Amino acid sequence: MHLAVDIGNTKTKVAWFNNQELSGSKVFDAFSEEELWRFVDAEQYSKIIVSTVKKLSVNFLERCAKSEILLFSQSTPLPILVHYATPATLGLDRLAAAVGAQARFPKQNVLVFDFGSCITTEFVSAQGVYCGGAIAPGLNLRFKAMHTFTDKLPLIPAGSPTLPTLTGDSTESCMQSGVVNGILFEISGSMAAYDAEYKDLKVIFTGGDASYFESLLNMKIFADPYLVLRGLNVILEYNAR
């Protein structure tokens, strides 16, 4: 069994794999090194990979070294080529998503949309080259920005269960249309632009808001909420070999 750990700013996601098959997963609302070690010690894993955006304690790093745990970084060898002008600033979740996308659709052009605090896109060519992508404000961030940086616009909840009308007839519905329909226009426009340039394009949605936007688009899209964790497992296997 392999264990992949993705430590984010607010949540920690873990998944265990039987080689490449996902066997289970768990989400920790708040990261605790002690809680994670209890989870790790409860099972026998042959290989473990940890990706984090947080600064880890010296004790944690020392224990990782003793346990031969792979700490994922921008210098970790990857099964894809990375053509990025500033690789040291490239988010580890973006790299893992790109690796997961390439593993799912090898030798094909793949475009990934990751819906989190920000909406990131990653493009991996059929030649297995990560070319980069885009970063834009996410769903909640757009609503919060309008409320924070104006005097009168309210803070309204994100994730309406239905598609907002194109033409809002109130301040709230206008904000919902601008945010949700605006994101949909961005996604469909981006997909059309990539599809015009690259043949047989595959599109994958992942991240917290992926299922919401997938439900609003009548397009052929592959949804995979575990894409980053799958990518981490592929990176783990690649380095083990």
Domain assignment of residue 28, given as a range = 1-71
Domain contains 218: yes
- Total domain count for the chain? 2
37 in the same domain as 115: no
Summarised one tens digit per residue, pLDDT across range 42-74 is 777 888 999 988 787 888 888 888 878 899 999
Q: Which of 51, 71, 91 is the last residue of a domain?
A: 71
What average pLDDT score do residues 158-171 get? 83
pLDDT on residue 159:
65
Q: Where are the alpha helices (DSSP H) in the chain?
A: 33-41, 58-66, 92-104, 139-148, 171-176, 182-197, 210-216, 227-240
202 in the same domain as 91: yes
Prediction pTM value = 0.90
Summarised one tens digit per residue, pLDDT across range 172-219 is 999 999 999 999 999 999 999 999 999 889 999 998 889 889 988 888
28 in the same domain as 135: no
Looking up residue 45, the CATH number of its domain turns out to be 3.30.420.40
Are 97 and 112 contacting, i.e. CB atoms less than 8 angstroms apart? Answer: yes
189 in the same domain as 142: yes
Task: List CB contacts of 185: < 8 A, sequence separation 6 or more.
Answer: none
Mean of the per-residue pLDDT values of the chain: 90
Q: Which of 25, 41, 71 is the last residue of a domain?
A: 71
pLDDT on residue 118:
92
199 in the same domain as 181: yes
pLDDT on residue 123:
98
Are 108 and 200 contacting, i.e. CB atoms less than 8 angstroms apart? Answer: yes
What average pLDDT score do residues 84-92 get? 93
User: What residues are labeled active site?
Assistant: 93
78 in the same domain as 61: no
pLDDT on residue 58:
87
169 in the same domain as 82: yes
